[in-house]
Structure formats: structure tokens, C-alpha cells
Amino acid sequence: MTNLSTRKRFRSFVHCSTDNYLSNLKNTINQNNYQNMKKNQIFYFLLIGLFLISCSKDEVTLDNEQQSKEPTKQTITAKNRSNLKPIGSGVMMQAFYWDVPAGGTWWNVVKNKVDDWSNAGIDAIWLPPVSKAQNGPFSMGYDPFDYFDFGEYNQMGSVETRFGSRSELVSLVNTAHNNRLSVIADIVLNHNSGGNSEYNPFKGTNTYTDYQPMSGMFNRSYYDFHPNDAQANDEGVFGGFADLSHTKSYVQDWLWRNPNSVAKYYRDVIGFDGWRFDYVKGFGPWVVKEWKNEVGGFSVGEYWDGNAATLDWWSGQAEVSAFDFACYYRMRDAFQGNNLNRLNDDMLWKRNSSRSVTFVTNHDTDEIVNNKILAYAYILTHEGYPTIFYRDYEEWLNKERLNNLIWIHNNLASGNTSILYTDNDEYVARRNGYNGAGLVVYINNSNNWQERWVETNWSNTRIKDYTGHSNWEPVTQGGRWVKIQAPPKSYSVWSVK
């Protein structure tokens, strides 16, 4: 088998144009004896013809051999997907935060929690990027180097990733599946880091674009990044990292099309059930669409923009969900800024709730500090697919209150939404029910108990507050009106008793 360095040199060589090759060949012959050119004309043109056959990098035979090579260590694979909860039927857990403890322990930490999370009503866990990155044992994974090293090769300063070994990752995935939880992979497709320096003719200088990972899979050169022979740039560069060129068929093959692509290996060998796409502003929405069409699975993109119309456009083009940053920023203004009128503003869930993934905090941003539990009461009673942040659940907020809100979301929060009342301190909305009773949520950001008459879904029906914050059990009038209450800096959620 050709070694990696020889393969790399061959791949770079066959990208040259025929004219350059002929020129170099003639110069070489001139240095020896140009007269021999006539005697050996047939030989040289036969040689040229052989190279013309494989002149396109994307069709090089050695690359095809590399693509069809069996994945490394496939004996450790994920199993048990037959009884998973449907993603979106419950609540997603972001199962990490920035700078989780290093030392290769995180996969085991999460593994020990999935049983409790499933019992609480979580239906999927979102993991950080799982492959080896440039900063090895210290990296959070967002500077990917070897997409197929999950903590088993000694490169980038460690064998394990920051989070653990390959076997620990697969064990976590299997344990999650055994507990009916789907597992969502964080996929970084825009940029790479950790390549060696090589001369780049498209830049006229050296660039760190020589990638020869120890897995032997998805080697890369300057042809696979911007600028290259096909494209100078795409929608965005991140942090000065090498910017992958998704228009290259070779890159598409390795990322999602071929049997050993990142997408299919992660799905079929590691066992991932869905995808969270990082920094999708950096490339066209067609990339996510093609990935999703190739391998399926729940998909959500991080299009960091507070404009609901922009999020709606992107999710429509990509045909996947998007994190509802419009909702996030309006909640920040409402709860951190003490103006609940902002909850009347435009959000993705109001435009297309089936494509909205709502959140209060994530590993990148945590601006809602005051009244954070009120923000969770909002997303867990409203439309969209809500996400809970690991540290909010496990460390910072009251877990019993969050579990209660998860139960309310999974059992009562159905149907579309009608906003009944807003002012600076109070917000009341009704879920109108779909194959269920629905609910009324009353959020009170004032310093005193508040009461309000509201129109419900129910006539002549006794209702109660499912949070336990109020002990009232009023009966709705024949016209469906009833008085409800909410405690200070808190909330209540009402439905049929």
C-alpha cells in the first residue's frame, strides 16, 4: 500500500495542468539532451497520456482506494437504536459547557447521568465535537484536525480527546440508546486547524493546509481549502483557520457522500442520531441540506442572528431546524431587561415552530442571568423544541423546578399559542391544545403576587396550577373566563385538573 507521504505528493502532482507538465518535461530534457526528444517522442507522449487519465484530483485512483478502505477499529460500534424517543417529543439536553473538566473524563460523567435525564423527560443529548482537534487534550473540539480520531491515535499531543477515548464515547452512545435517548453530534464543517505548512500556489506563500491525520482518512491539501483552483472564497472564514471548500467533490465525498464519509461513519459506526451544525454562516445552506438528504437524522444549524426573518430564510433553504436566536435575544430583553412586552416581538417559533430550537443559555452565550428560571418557564411552555443547558440543570438552577417544567412541556404544552396579555411585569399566554387540554402560563416579573382574569380553553371546568406555586383550584365560567394568579418573580401554569 502506498504510504501517506507518497500519496500526498501524488495527489498534489496530478493537480498540475497538462501545459505545466509539458513545460517542465521539456526543460528537463533540455538540460540533458534535447535531441533525444525526437528519438523518444512516442515514449513521452504515452507517459503524458497516462497522467491525463488521472489529472483530476477528485477521480484519482489512489483516492478511491483510500475512500473504500475499511474504517479503523470498527469492532467498537454503537448499538440499540430500536426504541428511541422521537427527537422533538421531549426536551434536548446540551450535555456540556465551555471548558468542561479536561483529562478524558467527560464521556463517563455524561454516561452516568443519561438514565436520570431520560426519566426526567429528555429525549436527546447534544455532545461537543468528538474528534481530535489541534489542541488535543485541551481542545473543546471546535478546531478539528482528524475527523476520524475519537481518542485512539497519539497525535496533537494526546491519545484521548479532552472528553475521553473512543471506547468511552461509544459506551456513552450505547448507554444513551439503552435509555431511549438519541445522541446529537456537533459537526464543524467550516474550518480546520492543525495542518502542516506547505507552499500554496494560490496564495503565493506557505499555508497550514497539509493534513495527514493518523487515521489515514480525509487527507487534505491546499486544493481542499480557499482559495483554490475552483473558488476564491465562500460565505465566511472563521478565526483565520483553514476554510474548507465545499464545492470540491473530494471534500463532499469525505464529508457526506462516500460510504466512509464523516456523516455515514458517525451515523453507522459511532451511532449518532442527529446533527448540530456549527457556524453555518460560513458556508451555503445547501451544504447542510445535502448532508441531511444523504444521511437523514434530526438537524439543527447555529445561524447566529437575532433576526427572525433571516433565521426563517436559512432554515427554509437548508430544510432543517435553526437555533432560535431571535427568541433568545427577545428573552434577554424581557427578563434581563425587565420588559416583558418584548415577548410580543418576532421570533422563529412564531414563524415556523417546527424549525425552531429554543434555548436560554449555551456554551457560547449566557446573558440571561437574572430571572433565568422565568425564561425556562417561557420556552418550556411555548412552541419550538426547547434545549436545557447542562450547568443550569446540574449546578445553577433548581432541578426540581426544571423537571416540573419539562413534565409540563411533555404533557400539557400542545397546540398553537395565543398571547393573552403583556406589560412590563406580566405575561400571559395560552397553548390551545392539540389532542390534549393545553395550558395557560402566567409569568410574573414583579415583586408582588399578581392576579388576572383570562380566557381559557375550558368551560365550567376545574383547573389547577401544575407548578404548585398557587393552591387555587378555580372553576372556569361558562364563557371560559377565570381568574388566575402568579407569585412574585415566578410563574404558574394552569390546566384541567
Asked if residue 58 belongs to a known ligand binding site, the reply is: no
* Secondary structure class of 199 (helix, strand, coil): strand
pLDDT at residue 203 is higher than 70: yes
Whether 135 and 156 have beta carbons less than 8 Å apart is answered as yes
pLDDT at residue 10 is higher than 60: no
Asked if residue 123 belongs to a known ligand binding site, the reply is: no
Q: What region, left, alpha or beta, does residue 151 occupy, with left being phi > 0 and alpha being psi -120 to 50 degrees?
A: left
pLDDT at residue 261 is higher than 50: yes
* Secondary structure class of 201 (helix, strand, coil): coil
* Secondary structure class of 200 (helix, strand, coil): strand
Give the other-Cβ count within 10 Å of 13's Cβ.
12
Which residues have C-beta within 8 Å of that of residue 189, sequence separation ≥ 6? 244, 246, 255, 277, 278, 283, 287, 291
In angstroms, the CA 153 to CA 132 distance is 9
SS3 for 422-457 is: ECCCEEEEEECCCCCCCEEEEEECCCCCEEEEEECC
Q: What are phi and psi of 441, to 5 degrees?
A: -110, 135
In angstroms, the CA 267 to CA 245 distance is 23
pLDDT, average across residues 12-23:
36
pLDDT digits 0-9 by tens, 447-474: 999 999 999 999 999 999 999 999 999 9
pLDDT of residue 3: 36
pLDDT at residue 1 is higher than 80: no
Instruction: Taking each helix axis as running N to C, give the angle between helix 308-318 and helix 285-295, from 0 to 180 degrees, rounded to the nearest 10.
Output: 40
In angstroms, the CA 154 to CA 241 distance is 23
252 or 51: which carries more pLDDT confidence?
Answer: 252
Sequence spans of domains, the chain: 13-53, 91-192+236-411, 417-496
- The fraction of the chain above a pLDDT of 70, given in percent, is 84
- Least confident range of 59-68, 133-142, 315-324: 59-68
Which residue do the cell numbers 485512483 mark? Answer: 61
pLDDT at residue 79 is higher than 90: no
pLDDT at residue 7 is higher than 70: no
- When computed from its CA atoms, the radius of gyration of the chain, rounded to whole angstroms, is 28
* Secondary structure class of 191 (helix, strand, coil): strand
For the structural domain made of 91-192+236-411, what CATH number should be given?
Answer: 3.20.20.80
Asked if residue 190 belongs to a known ligand binding site, the reply is: yes
SS3 for 375-388 is: HHHHHCCCCCEEEE
Mean pLDDT of the chain: 88
In angstroms, the CA 25 to CA 368 distance is 66
Which residue do the cell numbers 368551560 mark? Answer: 459
pLDDT, average across residues 284-303:
98
Which residues have C-beta within 8 Å of that of residue 81, sequence separation ≥ 6? 177, 271, 273
* Secondary structure class of 236 (helix, strand, coil): coil
Look at residues 99, 178, 27 and name the one whose alpha carbon lies nearest to residue 390. Answer: 99
Which pLDDT band, with edges at 50, 70 and 90, does 78 fall under?
Answer: low
pLDDT of residue 436: 79
In angstroms, the CA 197 to CA 177 distance is 42
> Which active-site residues does the annotation give?
278, 302
pLDDT, average across residues 146-169:
98
pLDDT at residue 74 is higher than 50: no
In angstroms, the CA 385 to CA 153 distance is 37
Question: Which set of grid coordinates corresponds to residue 472?
Answer: 387555587
Burial classification of residue 272, based on how many CB atoms lie within 10 Å of its CB (0-12 exposed, 13-18 middle, 19 or more buried): buried
Which residues have C-beta within 8 Å of that of residue 91, sequence separation ≥ 6? 121, 122, 123, 380, 385, 386, 387, 388, 406, 409, 410
Domains 91-192+236-411 and 417-496 share a fold: no
- The CA–CA distances, whole Å, from 351 to 302, 383, 384, 409, 415 equal 18, 10, 10, 20, 15
pLDDT of residue 77: 60
426 or 81: which carries more pLDDT confidence?
Answer: 426
Which pLDDT band, with edges at 50, 70 and 90, does 76 fall under?
Answer: low
Whether 186 and 141 have beta carbons less than 8 Å apart is answered as yes
The domain defined by 417-496 carries CATH number 2.60.40.1180: yes
pLDDT at residue 86 is higher than 70: yes
pLDDT of residue 404: 98
Q: What are phi and psi of 215, to 5 degrees?
A: -65, -20
Burial classification of residue 17, based on how many CB atoms lie within 10 Å of its CB (0-12 exposed, 13-18 middle, 19 or more buried): exposed
pLDDT, average across residues 35-59:
39
The per-residue DSSP string of 331-387 comes to: HIIIIITT-GGGGGS--HHHH-GGGEEE-S--SS-----TTHHHHHHHHTTSSSEEE
In angstroms, the CA 145 to CA 217 distance is 11
